Amino acid sequence: MSGKYRGVQALVRERSPHTNYVHCKAHCLNLALVHSSNIPCVRTMMSTVQDISFMFDYPAKRLVAFVDELSRDATIKEEMEQRTKLRTLCQTRWSSRADALATFKNAFPVVVHTLETLNDDGDNKAGQYPAGILCFELIRALIVAEHVLSSTVALTNLLQKEDNDILHAVGEAKVVIQLMNNERNDPDVWGALFKKATNIAAELDIIPSRPRRAGRQNHRANPDVDTVSDYWRITLFNVFLDHLIQKIETCILSNKDRFAAQYLLPNRLPDLQDKMLPSIYGAYVPDLQHSFRGFGNEVARWRVQWNIEESRLPWLQDTLRQTSKDLYPCIYGILGVLLTMPPTSASFERSFSAMKRIKNYLRSTMSTDRMSSLALLHIHKDTDVDINNVINTFASRKCRKLNFF
């Protein structure tokens, strides 16, 4: 789909060179999280958490041992919100990893004690993990990754909604970026995270530490700092946030010239400056039939109209409905093009996922027409259907002589 040379994007641009390709913002955020979590200590931590979660997921003996150990600690059981299992890390929905990491963090002492108990009972596989998780590096990476990923959960849920437009999605992405920048520059945020890590480490008699510093070390982070807290703040927390901010800005905040048209919305008109008009007009000039002078006249009348109106519409689709195509052809065209830029394709991806539930081994000889019909019924199951109308239509087409009523 997104190939520059042979994909659908390239085929569309052959016929319409001015078309802009907009990737699904939910997928872009997911890819940003994937790339940002590629820091060695974070990647190792997630791999270890995934292996331990799988180990407690299937064998009944290990699961029973975890539940028994959890029942002895009422505080941790309450923090886990009555859960009795660890959550595995989803490979595609990275926003759900925040909840999985939070569950693992809350149950960390229980996990350690359960692994030690299983090791004493002769479970050699369980005995491999205590040495890997009883280190300050993994605890530090767990706390930081859970905190950073949790700040993106609300944005991920918003990007998957159907009643959403590109401007709203981009605006909320800017909010998340600003929040991360504020946390990066706030020493209190890092101090609270480091204190959480040290408290967990103290419960298990783990001393906060950092890798040994060498004079000429080129293969890992080697900053010249004095304290353990400063080392992990520079090499883990700041690096994680900087990488994620850069990826979100690159993937989600692309097409900035077209996004400048958001200042034509009634609630953003006070922020519209005359110097912005040339860039807005230049981004949409292939789709406009009037000159820049005509566009400027429309904007002047557009400002006067919404100064008279008492209500200011914040949504793009509502503004387009109340815009006269005859009076404001340029503005109507700009808003229409902007509305066709989809913020997400998550709902369509779910439609493809419905195939595995419909085309199973019991329906191996099903025809294409029947599969399409069943897919429509399954995907649009929330649609109200008049049963009597369906029966009457079926009876009239098949010329049945039976009385259905």
Asked whether residue 135 falls in the same domain as residue 271, the answer is: no
Q: What is the per-residue DSSP string for 217-280?
A: --SS-----SSHHHHHIIIIIHHHHHHHHHHHHHHTS--HHHHGGGGGSGGGGGG--GGGHHHH
How far apart CA 348 and CA 337 sit, in angstroms, is 21
Task: Encode the chain (405 residues) as per-residue pLDDT tens digits.
Answer: 778 788 888 888 888 877 777 778 888 888 888 888 888 888 999 999 898 888 887 778 888 888 888 888 778 777 777 777 888 888 777 778 888 888 888 888 888 888 888 888 888 888 888 888 888 989 999 999 999 999 888 888 888 887 777 778 888 888 999 999 999 999 999 999 999 999 999 988 888 888 776 666 666 677 777 888 988 898 889 999 999 999 888 877 766 677 788 888 888 888 888 888 888 888 888 888 888 888 889 999 998 988 887 777 777 888 888 888 888 999 998 888 888 877 777 777 777 777 878 888 887 788 888 888 888 888 888 888 888 888 888 777 766 566 655
Asked whether residue 138 falls in the same domain as residue 236, the answer is: yes
Q: Which residue has the tokens 């394709």?
A: 345
Cβ count near 97 (within 10 Å): 24
Asked whether residue 114 falls in the same domain as residue 192, the answer is: yes
Q: What pLDDT sits at residue 142? A: 92
Q: What is the per-residue DSSP string for 85-130?
A: SPPPPPSS-GGGHHHHHHHHHHTHHHHHHHHHHHHHTT-TTGGGSH
Asked whether residue 270 falls in the same domain as residue 149, the answer is: no
Q: What pLDDT sits at residue 397? A: 76
Number of alpha helices (DSSP H) and beta strands (DSSP E) in the chain: 23, 0
Asked whether residue 125 falls in the same domain as residue 223, the answer is: yes
* Cα radius of gyration rounded to whole Å, the chain: 28
Asked whether residue 273 falls in the same domain as residue 358, the answer is: no
Asked whether residue 35 falls in the same domain as residue 102, the answer is: yes
Asked whether residue 288 falls in the same domain as residue 198, the answer is: no
Q: What pLDDT sits at residue 210? A: 81
Q: Are 199 and 143 in contact (CB under 8 A)?
A: no
Q: What pLDDT sits at residue 342? A: 75
Number of domains in the chain: 3
Asked whether residue 156 falls in the same domain as residue 301, the answer is: no
The residue from 200, 220, 251 where one domain ends is 251
Tell whether 12 is covered by a domain: no
Q: Are 295 and 330 in contact (CB under 8 A)?
A: yes
For residue 93, what are its two tokens?
Answer: 């929905």
Q: What pLDDT sits at residue 392? A: 82
The residue from 339, 366, 381 where one domain ends is 339
Domain range for 66 is 25-251
